[in-house]
Copies of this chain bind each other. A is one copy, B any other.
């Protein structure tokens, strides 16, 4: 089946500090015209910090859309024109106070392809050294240290719900166990 849709008209309905929202007219493969609601996002990065003893660092922070604390790997938005790995290093440093000697490419995450164009770049970091946290002035979070097996249990029991965090942990584990992680080293 032909699936391609084309833009007839881009209609900007909101331009915020982070998000831009469109309500476009789009041409469907069968010739119909439909509205397509799109959230434009600058892109994100997520870094899973794995310590020498196999423990990982996650951050717990209040997520306003859910009105609850959410446990996530260190993450953030890309600044305009910023290289994803550089952004990952920046967020790791800011949120956990760590710098790393080794980075691994865990691919990208499309969080919800029906309406957002966000691409989240996933990395693992090893060879960690503490140099001191440096939070943004609207960031309030607590760093949590977990054994890898405890983090896996939390995914299986649905206590870790954040998709980038679950993807990063599960992919890291499988790539390591399959001997494929070294091929992802940056």
Contact = CB atoms under 8 A, between A and B. Distances in A.
A126 interface: no
Nearest to A3: B62
Interface in A16-35: 16-19, 21, 23-24, 26, 28-30, 32, 34-35
A167 to B, nearest CB: 5
Interface string A151-170: 01001111001111011001
Interface stretch (A47-55, A82-90, A96-104, A171-179): A171-179
Contact of A35 (B17, B23, B69, B110): B17
Contacts of A116: 39, 65, 111-112, 116
Nearest to A164: B163
A160 B40 CA distance: 21
B37 A19 contact: yes
Contacts of A137: 32
Please tell me the size bucket of the interface on A.
Answer: 35 or more
B163 A66 contact: no
Contacts of A93: none
A74 interface: no
B156 A113 contact: no
Contacts of A41: 112, 115
Nearest to A175: B156
Nearest to A155: B171
Given A38-B64, A62-B3, A110 B28 contact: no
A79 to B, nearest CB: 15
Interface of A: 1-5, 13-14, 16-19, 21, 23-24, 26, 28-30, 32, 34-41, 44, 60-66, 69-70, 72, 77, 107-118, 120, 137-138, 140-142, 152, 155-158, 161-164, 166-167, 170-171, 174-175, 178, 180
